[in-house]
Every structure is written in C-alpha cells, then in structure tokens.
Amino acid sequence: MRRYAHIIFGVGFSISILSPFIYVFYLPVVVIASGIGSVVPDIDTRFRHRKALHNILSLTITSIIALIITLKAGIGWIPAAGFTLGYISHIIGDMMTKRGVAFLYPFRGEYYRLPIILGRSEDLLVNVLGTILGITLIFLGIWNLT
C-alpha cells in the first residue's frame, strides 16, 4: 500500500478498536499516534524491506518503547495503543499484497500473506480498497465513541 492508504487504514483500524475505551477528546491523540505507527514499518525501505520492521519482533519492541515513553511522560496508554494498532494495520495491509511480509523474521525468513491477495502494493485496487476500508472504520469508530 502507498503511504496515504497505510495512514488512512491505520487511523481507521485504531479508532474502530479503541472507540469503546476512549472519549471524543482523545481522537486527535489516536489519529496522530496511529498515523505515525502506520508508517514506521516503511523506514526499512532501503534495508531488508518487509523484513527488518515488518515482523512480530519489531512490532513488540517498538510497542514496548512507545508504552514506556508515554507512561514516563504521564500521558497514559492511549497514544501507545494507537501507535501499536497503526503498526499492526500496516503489517495487515502489506500481508494483503502478493509479496506479503516476513512476519516471523529473524526467526524465519519466509514471507506470509493473508488469503485475500489484492495485488501489488502500488496497484490502484490495493490502495483504493485500503483507503475505503480505512474511511469506513473511521466512521464506525466515531459512531461508537463513548
């Protein structure tokens, strides 16, 4: 997926999951944190792309770091949860492409895909569907806010 589709999908994914646990005034925090989390995995574009940061180990390490930072800063768990959900959404989005991701790297180097393969990450269909799904999840999440 392209960056814009990852961000929209990540924000929608995060809002829809966190909406039962947050109030409306937390929305900007969730949007920013999940937007950042949804693009962090692509920092590895020049070094082992879809391996170095598209895996469970990197997800776990970065999520723990985000939680430690937010708790030490006294701003609670919500930004870390938004970051983590944005990161997860990125991996899910890339697992819907032909290439997939090395989800178990560095333990195993195989690439994994979901049963739904939409095409290559630069294909219009992949990005349009990711964007539509993200927008839908944003509306559903806002609808369910406490």
Per-residue pLDDT of the chain (146 residues; tens, 9 = 90+): 889 999 999 999 999 999 999 988 899 999 999 999 999 998 876 666 677 899 999 999 999 999 999 999 999 999 999 999 999 999 999 988 888 888 998 899 899 988 877 777 777 888 898 899 999 999 999 998 76
DSSP characters over the chain: --HHHHHHHHHHHHHHHHGGG--GGGHHHHHHHHHHHHHGGGGGGGSSTTTSSSSHHHHHHHHHHHHHHHHHTT--SHHHHHHHHHHHHHHHHHHTBSS-B-TTTTT----B--S---B-TT-HHHHHHHHHHHHHHHHHHHHT--
Q: What is the reported pLDDT for 126?
A: 83
Q: What is the reported pLDDT for 55?
A: 93
Q: What is the reported pLDDT for 92?
A: 92
Task: Please report, for the chain, the start and end positions of each structural domain, with discontinuous segments joined by +.
Answer: 3-143
Q: Is the dihedral of CA 72, 142, 32, 84 positive or negative?
A: positive
pTM of the complete model: 0.90
Q: What is the reported pLDDT for 127?
A: 86
Q: What is the reported pLDDT for 48?
A: 63
